[in-house]
Amino acid sequence: VQRYDHIIIGAGICGVTAAETIRARDAHGSILVIGDETHPTYSRVMLPHVVRGKTEEARIFLRDDAALAAKGIEVRRGASVTHVDAAAKTVATRDGVTYTYGKLLIASGGRPKTLAFHDIDGIVPQRLQTVEDARAVIAAQRGTSVVIGAGFIALELIMSYAQQGSKVVALLRRDGFFGDALDGASRERLARIVTENGVELRTRTEAVELHRDGDDVVVRTSDGGEIVAQTIGIGIGIDANIAFLDGSGIATGRGVLTDEFLRTDVADVYAAGDVAEFLDPLVGVRHVVGNWQNALFQGKLAGENMTGGDIAFSRVTAYSITCFGVPVSFLGATDIAPDRRVVREDGAGTVQLLIKDARIIGATCIGPFADRAWVMERIEGRTILTDADLAGFRQS
Amino acid sequence: MADKQPLKISKIHVDRDLCIGAATCAVIALKTFKMDDENKAVIIDPNGDDAETILMAAESCPTKAIFLEDENGTQIYPNA
């Protein structure tokens, strides 16, 4: 049994950032990072760029294993962790190796959700999480592409297939993109941008069955219709990779439960990034945030707290994309039901503030976001806003 | 680290086409970068932060949209 001072499960940006942070603060402790993909750590955020030919695949790699090894960070790739025993402080991998740790970080990320129904005739919808997924999307059969889902990944797939010259039909379970995160005006603006670019939106429509017809795929929809397509793409969110923690003694919910210091309920075990369901002091509840910025900064903070730090995670998260040329931005907590929404719309864009307990907890913007810094400051400062302040925002 | 030459950055460039507005640079090197209305990182002061901080900000970019050069015009980041 090999012993490491620090074991990190997950070799994505979160895990690797944590390892580098630990090394910067502890020159001698042994560090092992275990990742299930075989590639060196890469940027998933760049995959849409690769698919759309904006950047070459070779550019997406962020860290070289030799450079990590030179810093005394050992990386095992292509190894999946099958079990953790928090009482014995051990981690076991599928190939039968057991390690013991001094401190453990769970940064195992998530995996794309799959369709809930089973009538899919062996058809595997395209996704956009891995290098292999991106290669498959590049090679997608042109013609008609059906995209299932309403979030950022669904939008990336829609834009990719549209750029390939395919007719794109988007199936949205609810009234539009991003579910409850958007107010009606923002939802309509985004829908307009997408449809103006030739994409057909079918709202309140779900795929209920997929089957093959020669080289085609037939999608049966909840309204009784059928779409004959050449390619199916899916982006319906991710599930945290926590199955290997069954029986570990570490508490999980939607993700691995942590406090604001990213500590789990078990001593010396931390969680960070897409897999962490952390107590967020900015909103006072636990939630899972799955984006680049969160993964990077939580990895850094976990590394600090694993080496004697005592810092609460309190950061306004942000994610944005350019949707057919229009900036689409999410700031702060957009996954928590607000008490009210304040919306300002003009020719250029639609800004929505999500208000809870008289504070802005999150914001969205479809179009140029001139107020970004103003909003950010108020989320960060947990500033109490009066009705007059909000009226002022609406008229600004 | 102590035996290394001090890092010098003479030029910073943000590729607006690659930038997606993840905004990590503007958090790490907040005196150097800010996000504009279109959610693209722009340089407010090329000497706003020390070189190590600016390098950390560039390395944090998920699309490698920040390019750094030393005084000889050699690209420091991203590595070719």
Dump pLDDT digits (tens) for A65-99: 999 999 999 999 999 999 999 999 999 999 999 99
Please tell me the distance from the alpha carbon of residue A237 to that of residue A291, in angstroms, as a whole number. Answer: 12
Angle formed by the axes of helices A292-305 and A13-25, to 10°? 30
Show residues of chain B in contact with A293, CB under 8 Å: 22-24, 27
Determine the Cα angle at A13 with ends A305 and A73, to 5°: 70
Mean pLDDT of the A260-282 span: 98
Please tell me the distance from the alpha carbon of residue A97 to that of residue B61, in angstroms, as a whole number. Answer: 35
What's the confidence (pLDDT) of residue B29?
Answer: 97
Show residues of chain B in contact with A291, CB under 8 Å: 22
Looking at the DSSP bridge assignments, the partners of residue A99 are A2, A91
Distance (Å) from the alpha carbon of A262 to chain B's nearest alpha carbon: 20
Q: Do B37 and A368 touch (CB under 8 A)?
A: yes
Residue A302 near residue A104 (C-beta atoms within 8 A): no
Residue B2 banded pLDDT, cuts 50, 70, 90: very low
Q: Which residues contact A340 (CB under 8 A, 6 or more apart)?
A: A355
Count CB atoms within 10 A of the CB of residue B74. Answer: 10
A18: three-class secondary structure by DSSP:
helix
CA A67 from chain centre, in angstroms, equals: 27
A97: three-class secondary structure by DSSP:
coil
Show residues of chain B in contact with A369, CB under 8 Å: 35, 37-39
Please tell me the distance from the alpha carbon of residue A233 to that of residue A156, in angstroms, as a whole number. Answer: 10
The percent of residues in chain A predicted with pLDDT above 90, rounded, is 96
ipTM of the complex in this document: 0.91
Question: Does A47 have pLDDT greater than 80?
Answer: yes
Please tell me the distance from the alpha carbon of residue A54 to that of residue A34, in angstroms, as a whole number. Answer: 31
Peptide bond preceding B78 in cis form (omega within 30 of 0) = yes
Can you say whether the dihedral through the CA atoms of A212, A149, A172, A285 is positive or negative?
A: positive
Distance (Å) from the alpha carbon of B17 to chain A's nearest alpha carbon: 8
Q: Do A372 and B39 touch (CB under 8 A)?
A: yes
Place of tokens 């300002």: A344
Please tell me the distance from the alpha carbon of residue A301 to that of residue A313, in angstroms, as a whole number. Answer: 7
Q: Do A54 and B17 touch (CB under 8 A)?
A: yes
Show residues of chain A in contact with B20, CB under 8 Å: 45, 320-322
DSSP for A228-297, written as a single string: EESEEEE---EEES-GGGTTSS--BSSSEEE-TTSB-SSTTEEE-GGGEEEEETTTTEEEE--SHHHHHH
Show residues of chain B in contact with A292, CB under 8 Å: 22, 24, 62
Question: Does B1 have pLDDT greater than 50?
Answer: no
Residue A336 banded pLDDT, cuts 50, 70, 90: very high
Tell me the pLDDT of chain A averaged across its residues.
96
A:56-115 residues touching chain B, CB 8 A cutoff: 59, 62
Q: What are phi and psi of A286, to 5 degrees?
A: -85, 140
What's the confidence (pLDDT) of residue B3?
Answer: 53
| From B23, B38, B59, residue closest to A318, measured CB to CB | B23
**Residue A52: closest C-alpha in chain B:** B18
DSSP for A150-161, written as a single string: -SHHHHHHHHHH
Candidate from A14-23, A110-119, A177-186, A210-219 with smallest mean pLDDT: A110-119
Angle formed by the axes of helices A131-138 and A152-163, to 10°? 30
Determine the Cα angle at A221 with ends A220 and A224, to 5°: 90
| From A55, A59, A369, residue closest to B39, measured CB to CB | A369
Q: How many residues does chain A have?
A: 396
Please tell me the distance from the alpha carbon of residue A252 to that of residue A263, in angstroms, as a whole number. Answer: 12
What's the confidence (pLDDT) of residue A181?
Answer: 97
Please tell me the distance from the alpha carbon of residue A208 to that of residue A91, in angstroms, as a whole number. Answer: 40
Show residues of chain B in contact with A327, CB under 8 Å: 21, 37-39
Please tell me the distance from the alpha carbon of residue A280 to that of residue A277, in angstroms, as a whole number. Answer: 9
Burial A354-375 (b: 16+ CB within 10 A, else e): bbbeebbbbbbbbbbbebbeeb
Token readout for A158 is 């829609």
